[in-house]
Amino acid sequence: MVGFLSTINDATHDDPSVNCNLLTVTQVAQLLNAHQHSVRRWADSGLLDCYRIGFRGDRRFNPDDVEAFLLARIDGSNTC
């Protein structure tokens, strides 16, 4: 998954609003080639772990959790 991790690093490198390499909904959607609403739905249903930050409760995602989510889908062990 070296390519995946380098893509994550590219996605977070130029964005000063990203703290501790956590990913935004938009970044996760781009990485997974999915719609932002799908990413939010997966997070709300517990399929994809996220952190809620700030007074608005914005979602942030750990790259390791995103990778685990993707690997589970590739292995076919879970459905969306």
CA distance readout (Å), 36 to 39, 40, 61: 5, 6, 13
pTM: 0.71
Domain edges within the chain: 2-75
Residue-level pLDDT at 25: 98
Q: What is the pLDDT of residue 56?
A: 96
C-beta of residue 61 within 8 angstroms of C-beta of residue 48: yes
2-75: CATH topology? Multidrug-efflux Transporter Regulator; Chain: A; Domain 2 (1.10.1660)
What's the pLDDT score for residue 21? 93
Per-residue tens of pLDDT for the chain, all 80 residues: 555 555 555 554 555 454 579 999 999 999 999 999 999 999 999 999 999 999 999 999 999 999 999 999 888 765 56
